[in-house]
Structure 1
Amino acid sequence: MTTQAHFPPTLAAGPSPEQWLRLNPLLDELLDLEPDARAPRLAELSATLNAQDLAMLQQWLALDARLMGAPFMERPAAQQTRLAEALTELGDLSGLQVGAYTLERELGSGGMGSVWLAKRSDGRFQGKVAVKFLKFGSFSRGARARFEREGHILARLTHPHIARLLDAGVHVLPQGGQPYLVLEYVDGMPIDTFCQARQLDVRQRVSLLLDVIDAVAHAQQRLILHRDIKPNNILVTPEGQAKLLDFGIAKLQDETQPAAAPTALTRLAGHAFTLLYAAPEQVRQQDVTTATDVYALGVLMFALLSGRHPTGDATQSDLDQLRAVLVTPPSRLSDAARRCDNRQLARQAVLMRGDLDTIAAKALKKDPAARYPNALALGADLRRWLAREPISARPDSALYTLQCFVRRHRLAVAAGSAAMLALLGLTGVSLWQAQRAATAEQHAQSRQRQSDALLAYMLGDFAERLRPIGRLELLDQVGSQALQHLSLQDHPSPTERLHRAKALTVIGEVRAGRRELDAAREPLTQAHQLLQDEPPSQGQPAHFAASWRKAQGTAAFWLGHIAYHQRRFDEAEQAWQRYRSVSQQWLHAAPQDLDAQVELAYAHNNLASLNLEQGRLLQAEALFQSALQGLTRARAARRDDPTLQAEHSNVLSWLGSTLLLLGRHPQALEVLGQALSQAQALRQAHPADRGWLEHKANAAYVLGDAEWRSGQHAAARLHLAQAVADFSALEQLDPTRRPWSLGLVRAQTAQQRGKPSLEAMQALAQRLQRLDKPQAPSVRLHVLRAEISRLLAQAQLARGQLSEAKHQLGEVLALLNKDAAENAQDLRLHMARLELSLFQAEQLSPSSAQQQQRCATAQQSLLRAPLQNALTHHAPLQLLAARAQHCLTQTPSRPGPKQPPAMASL
C-alpha cells in the first residue's frame, strides 16, 4: 500500500515542516480508519507522542469531521455568495454612462476586473480613457478594498512611463455601488511584441527596458512595489514610449504599519503573481521587498534580450515552473541569446558576454539579499553598460577598468597609442639594445608570476567552487589543461611541482567520482610521488608550506578512498595514515591554522570508519572522538560554515553507530539524536539545498535503525517514516540519483522489520535488482540485499511458501559466499553471510542432521578473521555467536513463520 500525501489543513497555528514530516504518516493511518476506530488508535499513539503533536493530530481529525459534514453541494456557489442576480443582469456595458464617461468597448478582463475603452461625454476634452472596475463575480469586501487600494497607489505615482490615474468614482447599479478608476488610455503593444516588430538591437532594447526600470524605481522610492511586472503589463506606443500598467497587486509599504501586523488587504492580495515572472520569495509566500521587483525585471530583461525564459525548457508544466523558480539556476544570458530564433539577437550575443551576463545573473539570484537591492541599482548598472563603464556587479580590477576605458574611448586611445608609439620609436632606439636582455627577463618573470597565479586559482579556489555542485567535466578540463601547460617545463620549480601534483589530483578525483577507480590510481600515484619530499622553504612565500601539506594530504586521501572502495583495507589504511601524518605535521608547524585542524579531523574520521569496517570498535571510537574534538574547535571559530556543521553531524552519526555496536545503547541513542537535531537545523537553514535534505534523511534513518535494534520500536517507526518521506521527496526531484533511491529502499526495508509484508518485500527486491549495477559494486548493496532476502523469506514462510523461501535465500547466500571470499577483511559482509546462514539453519532445515551441519558451519565461520578478531567487543556479533551455539543444541521443528532478530550487521 502506498502512502497517500496530504496537504496540511489550514489551522490557527500550522505545523512546522519538521512536525509535518513527522506526523504525516500517522495522519494517513488515522484517516484510513473508520471514524469509530480513530479515537482508540489515537489513544495508543499518545504514549509515544508529545503534547504538541497529539494536539495537532486531534485538531486535524476534528477539522476532517467538520468538513465531511459541510453541505458544500446543496446550493450553487453563485447563490451562496448572493451574486446570481448580478451576474445575469450585468450583460454588455457598451454605451453605459459611467460618471462623465461613455463606455465604448471592452479592452480586456482578468480575474480581478475588466477594462473598457471610453470617451468623455461632458465635452471637457475629447481624448480616450480606460475605465477599470470590478466584475460582480469578485465583488467582495476584500476585493473592493483591494480595488480601492489600486486607486490610492496610482494617485501617488506621477511618471512619464506609468499610466496616469485621471479620475475615480462609484457607479450606482441596482445591485449596489460599483467603484471604478479612470486611467490614461495607452494605445500600444506589449513590450516584447514591440521589440520583435521593430527588430530592435541589444542596445535599443536595453534603453527601452531602462524606461520601465525608471518607472519601477519611481514607485519604489514612494514605498510601492508592483509585484506583477511582465510584458503584458508594459505597453509601448507607436512613438516608442513605454507605459507601465496595472498596480492592482502592488503592495503599499506603509511606514506607519508594523511589519508584524499585515492588513486584511495585504493578506488577500499578498500572494497574487504571475508564476513565470515571480520571485522565489513570492512562491514561498515570504516577505517581499524591492528586490522582488528586481527579480521580475531580470526575467523581463532576459526575455527581451534572448527571446527565452531564464530557465529555458524547465517550464513546461506547473510543477516544472515551481521547481524552476525555486531551484533551477538560470541560463547564461549570452548562451541563451546565441541559441534563440531571432537572428539579430543571436548575432549580437557576443555583446552580452561579460557585463550583461553578470547583470542578468545578479538580478536573477534566488536569494533576495544577493540581488540588486532595488530597481535604481539595476538601472545604474545597465546605464554603465550602455556607457561602456565598469559595472558595480563586477569587482574592481586594474585590467577590467582599463578594458572599459578603452571601449569608451577607442578613437582617442588609438590616436594616443599611435602618438606614443611614434614618440617611443624616436626616443628609444638608442636604448633598445642595452635594455633588451633586461626587458626579456622581466617579461619572462612577469609571465611566470601570472601563470603561477592563474594555475593557483584554477587548481585552488575555482576547483573548490566546482566540487560542491558536482561539475566533474569542468574539473576534468581544469586538471587536464593545467597538466598540459605544466608538462612543457623540463626542470620544474617547487611551485610547478605543486601545481602539477594538484592537477594530477584533480584528474584522479574526477575519475574516482565517476567510479573509474583503476584509471584514477595512476594520476594520484604520480601526484603522491611529486610531493614525497618535505615542503621546500628557501625562496618560497610563508603560505607555501601549508599549500604543500594540503596537497600531500589530498593526494593521500584519494588514494585511500580508491583502495577503501575496492575493499583493499591494508592499502587504504597505509594511505590514510600518511594523510594523518602530513596533517599533523602541518598543524605542528602552524598550530593556529584552522584548515590544518579540519584536515586532521577528516583524517581521523576516515581512519575511524576503516577500523569500524574491520570490527576494531575501540580504535574506531577513539578516532571518531578525536575527529569530533577537532571539528568542534573549528566550528567555534567558523560558526557560519555549513560544511563544518554537516561534517560534525556526520561524525556524530558514525560515533553513535560505533557505540551501538559496542552495546552502549543509551549513549548511542543520545549521540544519534544530537546528529539528527543538527541535520534538521541545517535543513531548516538551507531549505532549497537538496544536500541538507539528504543529510537529514540519512540521520533519521540511522537513528530509527538504532532505536529498532534497541527495542524502542514506536520511536523507530517515527524516525524511519521521516527518512522514507525525505528520501521519497529526493527521488521525486531526481529519480536518476542512485544514492537517493538506495536510501529509500534501505529505509523502507527497515520499516518492514518485525512483520514483513510479502508484497512489499517483493517490490523492494525488484527495485534493488534494478538499482544493482555490476560496474559499481557496493558492499552496502550486498548487505541490504541480504536483509531484503531474509525478510522476504520470512514473509514467504508465513504464507507457507517453503520452496520459494529456500530458493530466494539460496541464491543470495551463494552471492554472499562469493563476495566474502573476495573481501576477506570486510566485517559487515561476513556478518550478513552468517546471519543468512543461521536463518537457513533455523528455519529451512528439513532434518536434524542438516540443521546440525549448517549450525556447525556457521559456528566454524566465527573462528576465522575478521569475525574472530571482532568478537570481543562487537555486541551484535556476540548475539550471532550465541545464536550459532544455541542452533547446535536445539531440535528443528517444522519450518514456519518464526521471527528471528533483525539483521545484526549495520
Structure 2
Amino acid sequence: MPTRFRAFLSYSHADAEWARWLLRRLETYRVPSRLVGTQGAHGQITARLGTFFRDRDELPSSGDLGSSIRGALDDSAALIVVCSPSAAQSRWVNAEVEAFRAGGRDDRVLCFVVAGEPGSADPAQQCFPPAALAPGSDGRPVEPLAADARREGDGRERAFLKLVAGLLGIGYDSLARREAQRRQRKWSMVAAASLAGMAMALALAATAWVARNDAQRRQAQAEDILGFMLGDLREKLTTVGRLDLMRSVDDKATGYFATLDPRDLSDRALEEQARSLTGIGEVRLGEGNHDAAMSAFREAHARSTALYQRAPDNGQRLFDLAQAEYWIGFVALEQGRHDDTGVWFRKYKDSALKLAAMDPDNFDWQREVAYGHHNLAVLDERLGRFADAEREMRAKRELYRKWLRQRPRDLKLRYEDANTAAWLGLMSARQGKLADAEGFYAQQVAGMSRNAAEDPANAEWKEVRIDALILLTDVQAQRGRLDQARASIATATPLAFALARQDPANNGWQVSPAICRWWQAQLAMTADAPAAGTLATEATAILTRAHRAEPRNERVLSWLVRARNLQAQLALAQGDAASAGRHLAAARTLIDPAWRAGHNEALRLWLARTWLLEGEVAQQQRQGADAAARWTRARKLLEDDAATGVPFSRLDPLVRVLHHLGEDVEATPHRQRLDAAGYIPMQPFPPAARVAAQ
C-alpha cells in the first residue's frame, strides 16, 4: 500500500540535535545513479529517499496528539528510532515503536544508535526502547536492525549509509560500493574543473572569481574546524578535565567571529555561529566569567538579529533572537545591573508575544510567553517589588491553568505549574499574606505528589515534592499550626533520606534530610528538649559534611548557620551560655566572610539572628554592655536598606531586638504587622527590658 512518508523519525527530546542532523541528511541524500530504477526489497529505487515525518515538527494543529501520531505512523513505510539511554527511558518513543510494530512491520524498524551500549545489562546504558526488543507477533525474539553512529561503532557516516541501505532494501556493501564510485567520479570532475579553472585564471575576471571562491572555501574550512572544536572536541576536553584548553578554543572562536560582518555571511553560517556563540556564553556563565559570557551572547544576538531581519516571518529565527535577548538579560541580572535586565527581559517578553501570535498551535512558542512573565517576576522579586512579582506570576499561572485543562496528563506542565504556585507562595509570604502562602504551597505539594505517584521513577519529582513539603512546614509553623507542620515534615523526612541514599554523591540530595531534621528539632524544642538537641546535632553533622563538599554553596552555608543557631538556642534554654557561645562562634566563622564577599537578604537575616543570639548569651553571662552592642548591630542590619518598609521576613528578629533594647514604641508597629498576618512566634517574644551597661 502506498505511503505518504518514507519513514517516521522517533527520538527523545535529549537527542533533538541528532534528529535534526539525520533529517537533513536523509532529505538531501541523492541515491547513486547506478542504483536508480533497480529493484530493492521494498520496491523500485528512486533518485530521492522522499519525505520523512519528524514528530516534534510536523504535527498538525489538531490538538489530538495520539491520533496525529498514529496517523503518521500508519502512513510511514518505515520507523527510524534514534537510540540512546534517553530514548530507552522515553515513554513516548516506546509508545511510537509499539504502535508501529502493532501493524506487523517488525522488519521495518530501523535503529540509529547515538549513545549508550546496545545489549547492556545496565538499564542506565541500554539504548533500545523496550518495545524495540519485544518478541514479534509469532513470539520469536526480534533483533533490531541497528546502525551504530558512535565513534566506537560504525561512525556517523558509515552508520548513515547503513540506515539508507535499510530504507532502500539493499545490502550495505552494494550501496557503499556505489558511493565510492560516485566519489571517484566527483573527484575526477573536481580535478577536471580545477584544470579548467587554471586555464581560465589567465583572465582577470576568472582570477577574481577564483580568489573569491578561495576566500569562501577558507572561511568554510575555518568554520568547519571551529564547529568540530566547539562540538566534539569541547565534549572530550570537558570529559578529561582540560577546561584550560576549552577556554582557549572558545576565546579563539569568539575572536574570529567578531572579525566577521554578519551581513556578509550566509544564513547557514550565521545560524552555526549564533549557536556556537550561545554555547560559549553558557560555558563562560557556568565558570562565573560574566563579562566573557555577555560578549558571546551579544555576538549571538547580532547574528540572530541579522537572520530575523532577513526573514521577519520566520518564527524559528524570532525564537532564536528571543533566546539571545533572554541570556543578555540574565547575565545583566547576575551582574546586578537591574535596569539593563529590565530592558532585555521586556524585549524577550515582547518577542515571545509576537512568536505566540505567529502560530497559536505551536505549544512551545506559547510557553515562551509564560517564561516572559516569569523572568520579569524574578527581577521584581530581586528588587523587593513583591506585589509586582506576584502580578507577573499570577499571569503566568493563568496560562498554566488553561494549558493543564487541555493537557491534564502532561507531567512536565504540571511540574512547572506547581513551581509557579510555589513562587506565588513565596511572594505572599514576603508580603505577610501567610494564609495565601500556605494555600499556594499546599497546591505545589499536591501537584508534585501526583507527579511522583504517576511517575515514581522520576527523581526530579521526588526532590521537588520534598522541597514543597519543607516550604509548607515553614509557613504552617509561622501561623502557629504546629501539628500540621509536624505532619508535613514527617511526610518529607523519609522521602528525603530515601533520595539521599539513592545517590550519596549528589550533595544537594544530602542537604534535604538535614533540613528535615532541623525542622523536627525546631518543632520539638518546647515539648522535648533532649530529642530536639539530638535532632539538631544530626542536622549539623550532615550539613557540615555537605559544606566540606561544596564550601561555596550558599544554600548549604545558610542552613548550617541555622543549625548552629538552633544548637545555641537549645544550649541557652538549658542555661549553658558557654556551649551556646561556641555554636555561635562557629556560625560567625561561616557567615562573616560570606557577608563580606557579597550581601543578600538571606545572609543579612541570619547574620542578624546570630548577633541577636550572641546578645542573649552575653545577657545570660551578665555582660550587659556587650549584649546591648550586639543587639544594636543586629537592629541596624535589620533596618538598613528598607526605604519602602522593613521586609516581613525581618520582623520577628527585629521585634526581639527592640524588646531586648527596651524600645517598646518602635517595636509596636512591627508586632502589629505580624499580628495582622496571623503570625504566631514559636518562641515568645522577650519582655521589654532596657539593658544597662555594666
- What TM-score, normalized to structure 1? 0.48
- CA change 1:499–1:559 in 2 (3 A) is farther
Alignment partner for residue 699 of structure 1, among 468, 471, 493? 468
Alignment partner for residue 646 of structure 1, among 415, 426, 429? 415
**Pairwise mapping of residues 99-138 of structure 1 onto structure 2 (< 5 A)?**
none
Distance (whole Å) between structure 1 residues aligned to residue 436 and residue 392 of structure 2: 17
- Whether the 8 Å contact between 1:560 and 1:576 is mirrored in structure 2 is no
2:288: which partner in 1? 517
Indicate the larger mover: 621-630 or 426-435.
426-435
2:591: which partner in 1? 816
- Whether the 8 Å contact between 1:730 and 1:740 is mirrored in structure 2 is yes
Offset at residue 792 of structure 1 (A) = 0.4
Alignment partner for residue 582 of structure 2, among 795, 807, 818? 807
2:351: which partner in 1? 585
Alignment partner for residue 324 of structure 2, among 542, 552, 557? 552
- Whether the 8 Å contact between 2:476 and 2:484 is mirrored in structure 1 is yes
Alignment partner for residue 637 of structure 2, among 858, 861, 864? 861
- CA change 1:427–1:590 in 2 (3 A) is closer
1:791 aligns with 2:566: yes
Cα distance per residue 1:438-471 (max 9 Å; x no partner):
99999999999999999999999x9xxx9xxx99
1:502 aligns with 2:275: yes
Alignment partner for residue 763 of structure 1, among 525, 531, 538? 538
1:882: which partner in 2? 655
1:54: which partner in 2? none
Distance (whole Å) between structure 2 residues aligned to residue 308 and residue 533 of structure 1: 40
1:71: which partner in 2? none
1:571 aligns with 2:341: no
- CA change 1:592–1:631 in 2 (3 A) is farther
**Pairwise mapping of residues 23-62 of structure 1 onto structure 2 (< 5 A)?**
none
Greater CA radius of gyration, 1 or 2? 1
- CA change 1:739–1:850 in 2 (3 A) is same
* Secondary structure of the structure 2 residue equivalent to 1:772: helix
1:34: which partner in 2? none
Distance (whole Å) between structure 2 residues aligned to residue 880 and residue 383 of structure 1: 65
Distance (whole Å) between structure 2 residues aligned to residue 627 and residue 805 of structure 1: 46
Cα distance per residue 1:717-742 (max 9 Å; x no partner):
22212222222122112112111112
Structure 1: which amino acid aligns with 2:613? F
Alignment partner for residue 837 of structure 1, among 608, 611, 635? 611
* Secondary structure of the structure 1 residue equivalent to 2:305: coil
1:542: which partner in 2? 314
Distance (whole Å) between structure 1 residues aligned to residue 652 and residue 294 of structure 2: 42
Alignment gaps of 5+ in structure 1? 1-278, 281-288, 292-305, 312-323, 331-360, 892-897
Aligned positions, number: 524
Offset at residue 522 of structure 1 (A) = 0.9
1:216: which partner in 2? none
- CA change 1:821–1:432 in 2 (3 A) is closer
Identity of aligned residues (%): 20
**Pairwise mapping of residues 144-543 of structure 1 onto structure 2 (< 5 A)?**
310-311=120-121, 324-325=122-123, 328-330=124-126, 361-362=127-128, 365=129, 368-369=130-131, 371-372=133-134, 374=136, 379=142, 381-382=144-145, 407-408=173-174, 491-493=260-262, 495=267, 496-497=269-270, 499-513=272-286, 516-518=287-289, 521-531=291-301, 535-536=305-306, 537-540=308-311, 542-543=314-315
1:608: which partner in 2? 377
Offset at residue 413 of structure 1 (A) = 6.8
* Secondary structure of the structure 1 residue equivalent to 2:661: helix
- CA change 1:473–1:439 in 2 (3 A) is farther
- CA change 1:729–1:448 in 2 (3 A) is farther
Cα distance per residue 1:188-212 (max 9 Å; x no partner):
xxxxxxxxxxxxxxxxxxxxxxxxx
Distance (whole Å) between structure 2 residues aligned to residue 766 and residue 818 of structure 1: 21
Offset at residue 653 of structure 1 (A) = 0.9
- CA change 1:524–1:635 in 2 (3 A) is farther
Distance (whole Å) between structure 2 residues aligned to residue 679 and residue 766 of structure 1: 29
Cα distance per residue 1:104-144 (max 9 Å; x no partner):
xxxxxxxxxxxxxxxxxxxxxxxxxxxxxxxxxxxxxxxxx
Give me the CA root mean square deviation: 5.3
Distance (whole Å) between structure 2 residues aligned to residue 669 and residue 708 of structure 1: 10
Cα distance per residue 1:381-402 (max 9 Å; x no partner):
44999xx9xxxx9999769858
- Whether the 8 Å contact between 2:355 and 2:365 is mirrored in structure 1 is no
- CA change 1:526–1:887 in 2 (3 A) is same
1:677: which partner in 2? 446
2:79: which partner in 1? none
Distance (whole Å) between structure 1 residues aligned to residue 250 and residue 164 of structure 2: 25
- What TM-score, normalized to structure 2? 0.61
Alignment gaps of 5+ in structure 2? 1-87, 90-97, 102-115, 149-153, 665-680, 686-694
2:515: which partner in 1? 746
Higher helix share: 2
- CA change 1:595–1:420 in 2 (3 A) is closer
- CA change 1:877–1:378 in 2 (3 A) is same
Offset at residue 794 of structure 1 (A) = 2.2
Indicate the larger mover: 485-494 or 645-654.
485-494
Distance (whole Å) between structure 2 residues aligned to residue 452 and residue 654 of structure 1: 43
Cα distance per residue 1:555-576 (max 9 Å; x no partner):
2255146x2xxxx5x3266336
Structure 1: which amino acid aligns with 2:294? L
- CA change 1:427–1:787 in 2 (3 A) is closer
Distance (whole Å) between structure 2 residues aligned to residue 369 and residue 307 of structure 1: 17
Distance (whole Å) between structure 1 residues aligned to residue 161 and residue 141 of structure 2: 16
Offset at residue 675 of structure 1 (A) = 0.8
1:686: which partner in 2? 455
- CA change 1:605–1:542 in 2 (3 A) is closer
- CA change 1:878–1:889 in 2 (3 A) is same
- Whether the 8 Å contact between 1:615 and 1:827 is mirrored in structure 2 is no
Distance (whole Å) between structure 2 residues aligned to residue 717 and residue 784 of structure 1: 19
* Secondary structure of the structure 1 residue equivalent to 2:522: coil
Distance (whole Å) between structure 1 residues aligned to residue 425 and residue 439 of structure 2: 8
* Secondary structure of the structure 1 residue equivalent to 2:639: coil
- CA change 1:697–1:836 in 2 (3 A) is same
Distance (whole Å) between structure 2 residues aligned to residue 425 and residue 454 of structure 1: 24
- CA change 1:716–1:737 in 2 (3 A) is same
- Whether the 8 Å contact between 2:271 and 2:304 is mirrored in structure 1 is no
Structure 1: which amino acid aligns with 2:661? L
Alignment partner for residue 627 of structure 1, among 396, 399, 403? 396
Offset at residue 419 of structure 1 (A) = 9.2
- CA change 1:473–1:730 in 2 (3 A) is farther
- Whether the 8 Å contact between 1:559 and 1:572 is mirrored in structure 2 is no
- Whether the 8 Å contact between 1:608 and 1:619 is mirrored in structure 2 is yes
* Secondary structure of the structure 2 residue equivalent to 1:583: helix
Offset at residue 805 of structure 1 (A) = 0.6
Distance (whole Å) between structure 2 residues aligned to residue 427 and residue 442 of structure 1: 13
Indicate the larger mover: 710-719 or 410-419.
410-419
Distance (whole Å) between structure 2 residues aligned to residue 619 and residue 472 of structure 1: 46
Structure 1: which amino acid aligns with 2:547? D
Distance (whole Å) between structure 1 residues aligned to residue 479 and residue 351 of structure 2: 42
1:828 aligns with 2:609: no
